[in-house]
Structure formats: C-alpha cells, structure tokens
Amino acid sequence: MQNVLTYLTLLFTVIVMQAQTDTTTTSTEAAPTKYEQGMRKAFQLWQEDKPWEAANVFERIATAEPDNWLPPYYVAQINVINSFTEKDKTKLTAQLGKAQNFINDATAISKDNPDLLVLQAQLYTAWIVFDGQQYGMTYSAKASELYSKALALAPNNPRMILSKAEWDMGGAKYFGQSIEPYCKDIQRAIDLFATFKPAGEFYPTYGEERAKQIQAESCK
Amino acid sequence: MKISVFAFLFIIFPSLLLAQATVSGTVTDTNGKPISGANVYLEGSYDGTSSDDNGKFSFETSEVGTQTLTVSYVSFEPFKMIDVVSKMKNLKIVLREDVNSLETVTISAGSFSAGDNSKISALKPLDIVTTASALGDFVGALQTLPGTTTVAEDGRLFVRGGDAGETQIFIDGIRVFTPYSPTTDNIPTRGRYSPFLFDGITFSTGGYSAEYGQALSSVLLLNTIDEPIQEKTDIAIMSVGGGLGHTKKWDSPSPKASWNKGSSLSLNASYINLAPYIAILPDRNDWHKPFETASGEAVFRQKIGDGLLKIYGAFDTSNFALTQEDINKSEGLAFKLNNQNFYTNASYSEMLNDDWTLFAGGSYTYGNTKVGIDEADIKDVENSAHFKLKLRKRFSNRFKLNIGAEQFLTDFNENYDEPNFAAKLGFNNNISAAFTEADIIFSRKLALKLGIRGEYSELFKEFTVSPRVSFAYKTGKSSQLSLAYGDFFQQPENEVLKFTNNLEAQHTQHYILNYQYSANNRIFRAEFYRKQYSNLVTYNDAMPDANSLFSNNGDGYAQGLDLFWRDDESIKNVDYWVSYSYLDTERKYKNFPIEATPNFANTHNLSVVAKYWIEDWKSQIGFSYQYGSGRTYTDLNEPGFLQNKTRGYNSVSLNWAYLLSQQKILYFSINNAFAFKNVNGYQYANTPDAGGNFNRRELRPAADQFFFVGFFWTISTDGKDNQLDNL
C-alpha cells in the first residue's frame, strides 16, 4: 500500500506549497491595527522564504489573540508543509507534534471548521508520506473521513470540493477506475473559485491554481 | 490633584508613554551551544523576535511593568520568566531538551511494541496480520520474534525456556484468564481474539513493569482501539468459513447532554468449520466431527467529558471429536471437546486535574469445557474476575508515578466421570496485589524505572514482594543500552491447584542486558538474559492426581541471546526481518527425575519474514521461514531422561494479497509450501515388545501443509478502507 499512498500524498505537497495566502490584500483604509501589522509581517516573511520566522510571528500573534483561529492555523500549516520533505524522524515528530498542538488550539477556538479539518488531513498525509507502511492504513482512513466531513460542512466551498476530489482521484487512478466524476467536481470547484470570497482578510484563499493544474493534467 | 500633575507631565513628555524598552540576550542549549530561530517574545503582546545564528536576540517593546518573557524552540522545553521589562537585558537563557522528544532514551529491555504511538516499533500494526505464517493470528506473528521457541503443534507462546502457562495476556490492562481455545495434543490452538479490534500490542519477553504479575516469563498487552475511524461493514468469505463485522459511530448529541462526547460500537462475528476442507484434504486424524467454532465480539466506547469508557465482550463456542492414533491402543484414542467461553472487560480512564490520570477496570471470564477421553467425561467450569484501580501522577515530563491495586478471583470446579469412578474437584484462588512504579528521566540520555509489587494469596496464605528495576542509557545518536532486573511470582496451574493448596508461588528472577540500534528504518537489537527459576511445583506421578505428593522443590535456569534485525530501507519495496534466539535451559519440575531440558525448548530458533509489494500487480507477496533445532524426548530404549533430540523443524510459508479494487481483496496462503517432513517428538509404547524393545511412533503434524483462500470486502462511506490490515 505504501506506494499508493506515497503517490496520493505527493500530490498534496503541491497543494500545500501553494497555501501561502496572498498578502497584498489591503482592505482597511484606517491605520492598520497591531494584528494587521503582525499578520502582514508574517506573510511577508513567508513570501521571502523565511517560513520559520513567519511561524514565530504567527505564534506570537496567537498568544496575543487567544480568540482568533487564524494565527495558530498558520503556525500549524507551516510546520505541516515543511514536514513533507523532512526525512529525519526526530525532526518530523517534533514539527508534526507542534503542528498538532496548534491545530488543537485553533479547533478549540473554531469548532467544525472545514479548513482546520483539511489541515488535519494534510498532517496525517505527512505521516503517510514519511512511512506509508506504518501509518498508511490508519491515517489514510482518517484523512478520508476528514475530507468527507469538511465537504459536508461546506459543500459549496471550492477548496473543500477540490481537496476531496483530488484525494479520491489519486485512489481511482491507481486502481484504474474512472476519474470522470472527480473531474466534474474539479470543474465545479474552478467555477466556484471565480466568485469565491474569503470570509475576511488573512483567511485561507489557496486552491484555484491547483484546481486548474489538475484539470489540465488529468481531465483533458 | 496628583493625577493632573501626571497628566501634565505626559502631555509635555509624550515619550514617557511610548517608552521603548529593549529586551536582549542569548539562547543556548545546556551545553552552551547557541540556538538559532528560537521564538522570543513577551506573552500577550506583539513584541518579540527570533534568535539569530549566534543565539542572540534583541527587540524593542512598548510594554512596561511586569511581563512574561517566553522562549520556545521545537524539541526543547519552553522557557518562561516573569520580571520587570526594564530588567530583561543581556539575558542568558538556557533551554532544556524536551524529554518527550524521540531522541530521548527509552527503556527497551525485554519488550517489543507494535503501534503508532511507540517510539521505536520492532513490529508495525500491519505485521500482525500480513506475516505469511501467522494466518491472521497475532500469536502466530509474535512467534517470529526472538525469545520465542517453535512448538508448532501447540500454537501458544513459549518464551525463553518457560512453558506456555508462564505467559499472561492482558486486554486494556485487564487479565484474560483463558486466552486460547482448548484443544488436544497435536492440534494447534489459536488466540481467541481478532486482531483488528486492537491498535497497540506490546510483547514483553522479560523484565516487565510492576503493574503486571502472575506471569513467570512474559506478558502480552493488547489495547483495544479508543476511537474507530469510520463506520464500515466488513465481509469475509473464506475456504474455512466466514465473518461479518460492523462499526457504528454516534457523535455527541450536544448540547443537551454535555457529558456525552460521542460513542461507537464495533461488532464482529465469525464462523469456522473445517469439515469441507478435511473432506477435500484429509489429514492424519480420523475426524468424527471436524473443528467447528462460532464466535462474536463487541466493543462499545463512550466518551464522557475527559474520560473514556470501554466495554469489550467476547463469546465463543467450539467443538470437535476425533480419534487419534495411539501406539498403546490399536483402535486409537477417542477425544471429543465442547467449549463455551465468555469474556467481558470494562475499563474507564480519565484525565483528572493536576496531571493525575485515573484508570479503573474489571473483567469476568466464564469458561465451560466438556472433554471426553475414551470412557471418561470431564467437565470443567471456571469463573474468574480481575479488578484493577490505578492512578498516575505526572509531576513533570521527567518524573511520573504509578500507584495501583488489584484483585484476582478464580473459582474452578471439575466433575470427573468414568463408568466405575467419579470425583468432584475445585478450588478458589484469590489474589490481592498492590504496586507502585516511578519513571524518572534524568536527561535524554539516562532513564530509570523503579517499581515494587506485593501480592497476597488467600489460597496459600502467602505474601510475596517483587522488586523491578530497569535502566537505559543512550550510547550514541541511534543506539542505547538497557539493563533490567525483576522478581516474578506465579501460582501453579489449575491442573495442580485442583488437587492441593499446600504449596507456594513459583518464582523467577530475570537479568537482562539489551543493546538497540535504530536509524533509517533499520533496527538491530541484541539481548542477553539469565533467568533463575525456583520453587517450581513437582509431583511424583506421571499425571497429577489426588494421591500425588506435591512440593515446591523444583528449580532451573534459562539463559541465552536474542537477536533481531529489521530493514525496510535497503531493498526497494521489500521489508524484512530476521530473528535468531539461542537458548540454554534446564529445569526440574513436574515429574522430572533430574534437571533436564524440557521438550518445548530448543537451542536454536530462526525466523525470516519478508514482504514484497509489487506495484504492477497491486499485490503484496509474503514469505516466512521458520527453523527450530531439535527438541528433546526420552528414548525408552536407552538409559536417561529427555536425553535425545528430534531433527530440526523447517517450514516455509507464502501468501499473496491481491487488491481487486480499493475495497476488495483476494488472499491466498500456504503453510509449509515445500512440505518439509517435521517430527515434533515420539510416543513410546508402554510395554516392550517380545525382543525387549519399546516401539515408538512419530508425532507428526495432523497435516504437513495448510492452504487458505479468502475474499475480503469492506463497505464504508468513503470507499477507501479495506481489510488489508486484517490479513
């Protein structure tokens, strides 16, 4: 099974790699608050390819903003993304352990949040990529469950449609089954991305590029 | 008017309000090495920075007064200091290593664990079921680990020169009194419990924790799944029967009952009947009623606030009747068996305040076995229970304490009936025990576990004390050395207790030295051990009976070396392991006239297990080779006792799991593929023939080979899960 899962999950690295939210969005006319300044600085560091410094800033904001799920979400996301390529089990365990703590913190603030469910699924995926034989069976079932739950919570969120469709498509391809239904979902996601508005500044926005890329690679 | 004076000052000198203090210093580890990238900040403010390559940091803050400075870095314990901001200058911050991290030494002497949670897993959860020779029996998979001996005709675990009764099995920390289906000579038994209800398995071949008692040699700890992942239905159609499993989950019905955080139920039923198989491939036995068993298991889990309640129940009924060849009876020996077994186990665990964890659990076993041997009818009824209460206090990551108490109750009754003789036998065996154990981690390099256990036997009016100590030291980045010592006591078996209570507990001492190397998906382990037996039960007849003289005069020793090598890295798509055990053991027990090597102990044991994933075929091919050197037997034609040895045992098993689709698997397996002729021992005639020679008969397995075909289908909402992990 190892290879099926590795295959499935390599696709994910790409999607997560694009997860960095666009920082150029400036909405407020008034002087930026400390929160806005902090978040912008973090995204800027991230774009400058200093993910760990960005994570440190997000972590600081998280302590100052105990009721906002976004800072811990991004701390976790940076740790998850950087675990996909990590081969040292000690480091990997430490990073994913930290990511898990921050997902737990964020979940305590925002329950049944589909973006957090997808991030949790990506965390499991990082374990599967690292050692499919050991973690594949349990964690792939858990990830599947999370994608289904995320989509059920936000059936018209293009990112949830994309995440689940991509995960399912990997499995279908491997077993030589038709990927037609998932291509339809991808098309639907692309249509919805065109009008998608994040709930506010700094909310996750990734996914559109990835959806178009999958469509170009697999559905034409 | 003081207030307005202050206000006035602030208007004139607005910089007083925006006073910028500088927080600065360096971050190092305990060896003085700078840590770069550490997050340094004032808690609750936005002010902070990351330390640079020299571990230096400096940042401006507008915060004043007393604040909390936090320094955190992955795999180190976070540092916090509360002080006035203006004093936070040129700080020298030393971060301590987080001893929860993987690099911390673990006490590995004696134990193998399988599970996602264990730091170093010699076995992975899938192995229990994908090992070619195991046929889905977790005991079969454990028999490929070092420390076990090959006793193929029995099926139970024999560990380091101990007999099968010296290994105890626990489910969720609670003892299983009758873990194996009863059987007769030369028909191997299987574990009763299906592997897929468990997600953690720890197999200890010695030196285990003070929490576990009543086992001289070994403990096997099985943990049921805390929370199933999803709802699903499993269907199995096999050449020897069928199975059906279903899991249902309920989310918390919030907000009305806020204590209820969700529950789940898993049910599993199976039916096995060997009649069709034996009709096609007859074996050496004359079956009147081939082996038939029906079993059901259920696990219910309920989350209550921060606690988890688990209730496990298993029922099985099995029967068979056959005539086995016997050198003393030309017509053979008739044997029939009918067994009903019920086991239930409930446990509750909860995280309390102040880092206390509570565990409470209990189990009840009912076993009813009817055996017919020729004219004799024997009916055994066993009622047993076990209750345990345990508290764990985590003082820090470096010091944890366990305290617990438990009670074992056994009520055993036997009715023996022959045409001219009848007897009623029975006993009550109640044992009370208390234990405490401390886990102390001095640093990532050095850890110690200290425990003590006291037990009182009501039957023997005897109190025993067992100290247990283990110690681990990290010798390099990937290697470590462990030492363990322990005293272990166990009551004699039911076969003895039903005739006498004028005995004492049997006793062993374990001394273990373990070296472990683990890096890059490769594990090497070497373990030396010495086991000293004393107080073993002896008696003066061939079989114990009411007139036998029993005593605790037996003793013995076992010593040896266990080696284990596993490599999942060197060959692409191949995962393999090799186990070798060297065992030197002699003992005087039961009716042995002298100290001798018992017939279940062999000097050399070798297992090679390999799994090969073939991408293009969507198949996993499994291979397993077992070798056991010859076992002792008594040759009646020569002087001596257990003085001769059989030839070695060899068996190669193969399996093939083919994924038809994500949820359908076709599975084939064959045990002893090359049909090696194995002889497990000899049965000698009771009386010599005319020439003064005792004739003998080879004890061979009922069948040299075993074939298995199965189809496994999983139906789940997401269409992903399958039963590969059950095979």
- pLDDT, tens only, A182-217: 999 999 999 999 998 888 889 998 888 889 999 998
Beta bridge partners of B453: B435, B466
Residues of A in contact with B199 (CB under 8 A): 138
Contact B613 A52 (CB under 8 A): no
Domains in chain B: ranges and CATH: 20-95 (2.60.40.1120), 111-726 (2.40.170.20)
B43-49 long-range contacts, Cβ below 8 Å, gap at least 24? B43/A63, B43/B67, B43/B68, B43/B69, B43/B70, B43/B80, B44/A63, B44/A64, B44/B68, B45/A60, B45/A64, B46/A34, B46/A35, B46/A37, B46/A38, B46/A60, B46/A61, B46/A64, B47/A60, B47/B23, B48/A56, B48/A57, B48/A60, B49/A56
Tokens 């930026």 map to which residue? Answer: A32
Task: Compute the nearest-CA separation of B124 from chain A (Å).
Answer: 6
Alpha-carbon span A19 to A115, nearest angstrom: 11
| Res B178: pLDDT | 86
Amino acid, res. A12? F
| Closest CA in chain A for residue B47 | A60
Contact B125 A137 (CB under 8 A): yes
Task: Compute the nearest-CA separation of A141 from chain B (Å).
Answer: 6
| Res B12: pLDDT | 47
Chain B interface includes A101 (CB < 8 A)? no
Nearest by CB to B662, from A34, A137, A175: name it: A175
B35 and B28 Cβ atoms separated by less than 8 Å: yes
Chain B interface includes A133 (CB < 8 A)? yes
Angle at B621 between CA B620 and CA B622, to 5 degrees: 115
A44 and A23 Cβ atoms separated by less than 8 Å: yes
C-alpha torsion sign, points B446, B485, B433, B465: negative
Query: How many angstroms separate the Cα of B704 from the Cα of each of A47, B563, B670, B673?
Result: 67, 29, 11, 9
Q: Checking phi first, is residue B172 left (phi over 0); if not, alpha (psi -120 to 50) or beta?
A: left
Task: Compute the nearest-CA separation of B521 from chain A (Å).
Answer: 9
| Res B683: pLDDT | 92
Chain B interface includes A131 (CB < 8 A)? yes
B151 and B626 Cβ atoms separated by less than 8 Å: no
Chain B interface includes A178 (CB < 8 A)? no
Mean pLDDT of chain A: 83
Q: Select from B190, B179, B182, B188 the least CA-distant residue to B154.
A: B188
Alpha-carbon span B155 to B17, nearest angstrom: 80
- pLDDT of A24 above 50: no
- pLDDT of A97 above 80: yes
Contact B521 A131 (CB under 8 A): yes
Query: How many angstroms separate the Cα of A116 from the Cα of each of A83, A97, A107, A122, B254?
Result: 17, 16, 7, 10, 21
Contact B39 A131 (CB under 8 A): no
Alpha-carbon span B209 to B398, nearest angstrom: 18
For chain B, the residues whose C-beta falls within 8 A of a C-beta of chain A are 37, 39, 41, 43-50, 70, 72, 74-75, 98, 101-103, 116, 121, 124-126, 199, 229-230, 521, 568, 573, 575, 613, 615, 618, 620, 659, 661-662, 717-721, 724-725
Backbone φ and ψ of B328, nearest 5°: -90, -5
Tokens 């690292």 map to which residue? Answer: A130
| Res B392: pLDDT | 94
Beta carbon pairs, A and B, within 8 Å: 101
B144 and B634 Cβ atoms separated by less than 8 Å: no
Contact B102 A1 (CB under 8 A): no
Tokens 């203090």 map to which residue? Answer: B21
| Res A27: pLDDT | 47
Angle at B88 between CA B82 and CA B93, to 5 degrees: 80
User: Average pLDDT per run of 10 along chain B, which is 727 residues long?
Assistant: 49 52 92 92 89 93 89 89 91 87 69 56 66 76 88 88 92 88 79 74 88 92 82 86 88 67 89 90 90 91 89 92 90 91 93 90 94 89 95 90 95 91 90 95 88 94 94 88 94 91 94 89 91 95 88 95 90 89 96 94 94 84 93 93 94 89 84 91 91 91 88 72 50
Alpha-carbon span A114 to B152, nearest angstrom: 53
Provide the edge-to-edge strand list for the sheet that holds B111-114: B111-114, B198-204, B218-224, B167-171, B174-176
pLDDT tens readout for residues A58-96: 999 998 898 999 999 999 999 999 998 888 888 888 899
Alpha-carbon span B386 to B364, nearest angstrom: 7
Contact A64 B724 (CB under 8 A): no
Alpha-carbon span A63 to B63, nearest angstrom: 15
Residues of B in contact with A134 (CB under 8 A): 116, 121, 124-126
Residues of B in contact with A52 (CB under 8 A): 37, 50
pLDDT tens readout for residues A180-190: 899 999 999 99
Contact A52 B102 (CB under 8 A): no
Task: Compute the nearest-CA separation of A143 from chain B (Å).
Answer: 9
| Closest CA in chain B for residue A4 | B615
Residue A185: DSSP 8-state:
H
Backbone φ and ψ of B184, nearest 5°: -120, 180
Alpha-carbon span B463 to B506, nearest angstrom: 12
Chain B interface includes A142 (CB < 8 A)? yes
Cα R_g (chain B), whole angstroms: 31
B521 and A130 Cβ atoms separated by less than 8 Å: no
Helix pair angle (A208-218, A158-174), 10° resolution: 30
Residues of B in contact with A2 (CB under 8 A): 573, 613
Contact B613 A60 (CB under 8 A): no
Mean pLDDT of A7-12: 42
> What percent of the residues of chain A are helix, what percent strand, and what percent coil, each to the nearest 5?
70, 0, 30
> What percent of the residues of chain B are helix, what percent strand, and what percent coil, each to the nearest 5?
5, 55, 35
Contact A95 B74 (CB under 8 A): yes
For residues B581, B584, B589, B590, the Cα torsion angle rounded to the nearest 10 degrees is 50
B78 and B70 Cβ atoms separated by less than 8 Å: yes
Chain B interface includes A90 (CB < 8 A)? yes
| Res B18: pLDDT | 52
Tokens of B456: 């009182």
B249 and B301 Cβ atoms separated by less than 8 Å: no
Task: Compute the nearest-CA separation of A173 from chain B (Å).
Answer: 11
Q: Select from B120, B216, B124 the least CA-distant residue to B472.
A: B120
- pLDDT of A12 above 50: no
Mean pLDDT of A160-175: 85
Strands B39-42 and B48-50 come out as antiparallel
